[in-house]
Amino acid sequence: MKTLTTTQDLQDFCDAARTQPYVTVDTEFLRERTYYSKLCLVQLAMPGDTDETAVLLDPLAEGISLEPLYALFRDENVVKVFHAARQDLEIFWVEAGVFPKPLFDTQVAAMVCGFGEQAGYETLVRKIVHQPLDKTSRFTDWSRRPLSDAQKRYALADVTHLRKIYEYLAAELEKSGRSHWVTEELEILTDPATYDIRPEEAWRRVKTRTNSARFLAIVRELAAFRESYAQDHNVPRNRVYKDDALVEMASVKPRTHADLGGLRLLLREARRGAIADGILSAIGRGIDCPADDLPKPDRSRDKLQVNPALADLLRVLLKAKTESAGVAAKLIAPSADLDAIAAGLRDVPAMKGWRYEVFGADALQLCEGKIALAAKGQTVRVVDL
């Protein structure tokens, strides 16, 4: 098991990888104590059946530069293969402003090939490679050195098995003509906006029981301060204060440090110092927010006139279509989107791209009365009218 600890070693590996059709990639990182992920290890493997073409890259090694790796990521002649790539891509985007291109995500490909909505790596190793996967080192602190041989073997297995998984799934996509499905899904993963967390929009992730505009204005300011503080100090947002404490503060509206001391859910560390000052300022901004700047929650679906019979028919159609296509129904259209279609809305994911091919086109015809559904035994057929 070779570990790359110098820039030259990394350059040599990347030079060799650039002569290959693909390279498999995985990372190990820590995020429990920081806002941004701390990259601790990168696993890389070129095509082959042994561990000889696979390496571990130590980004914590003194003096090492990852620029050769980023150059490989930019080389569009080599496919970069990941499994469940979102967190990996976020790390490389935040660290270096780079996305691996072209990208292949085996979790997305597996979904398209009928392995379920979010097939885990262990599942694919078992079903495609027909090998067990040792997960005993799953909870390793990857920032500690030296790594044991067991930890290294565990990490390396995340890219060595990935080679056969990629080759199998790529062949299946070629046979089924569904490669463009994967391409569409990966466009989201390689969009910088996916990883652009703007503090002023953080309030939309906070679950509340009221849509009062003034209450939401305070939630918006508290969430924005928390996000900015967490980013600036590189600490998890929940270490600043948790969502339940945020909602409590928006309800109680404390205006002094003494008021903060009487709260039930606020962490003790947040009742004084810079966090306490930031909280009080944020609450003040929310209370004093001009009427024309108050948050406007999306209520576009609140008063939809849903045709319940049509919504039920759409559910039957979706089940029939996804069973024949071998993809998970929730991936095409969640229940709320089916209700929206039944109410006349068309700006939903199921009406776009490959989802439209599988389900949306027939759903539209069903809504327009151009097709009907007929049951025969255990199957449902689409009947032209």
In CATH, what number is assigned to the domain containing residue 264?
1.10.150.80
- pLDDT, residue 133, reads 86
Check whether 298 has a pLDDT greater than 70: no
Give yes or no: residues 55 and 191 share one domain.
yes
More confident residue, 379 or 102: 102
Check whether 167 has a pLDDT greater than 90: yes
More confident residue, 296 or 163: 163
Judge whether 221 and 137 are in contact, CB under 8 Å. no
Domain at 51, CATH number: 3.30.420.10
Give yes or no: residues 166 and 141 share one domain.
yes
Give yes or no: residues 24 and 163 share one domain.
yes
Tokens of 343: 């109410």
Check whether 84 has a pLDDT greater than 90: yes
Check whether 243 has a pLDDT greater than 80: yes
Work out the average pLDDT over 247-259. 97
pTM: 0.89
| pLDDT-derived band at 269, boundaries 50, 70, 90 | very high
Domain that includes residue 103, residue range:
2-195
What is the per-residue pLDDT across 201-221, written as a single tens digit (0 to 9) for each? 999 999 998 889 999 999 999
Partnered with residue 103 across adjacent β-strands are 80
| pLDDT-derived band at 126, boundaries 50, 70, 90 | very high
Give yes or no: residues 220 and 273 share one domain.
yes
> How high does pLDDT run on average in the chain?
94
301 within some domain: no
Amino acid, single-letter form, for residue 343: A
Out of 12-16, 357-361, 378-382, pick the least confident: 378-382
302 within some domain: no
Tokens of 102: 């072209």
Last residue of a domain, one of 225, 260, 293: 293
- pLDDT, residue 369, reads 95
Give yes or no: residues 312 and 190 share one domain.
no
Give yes or no: residues 50 and 185 share one domain.
yes
- pLDDT, residue 299, reads 64
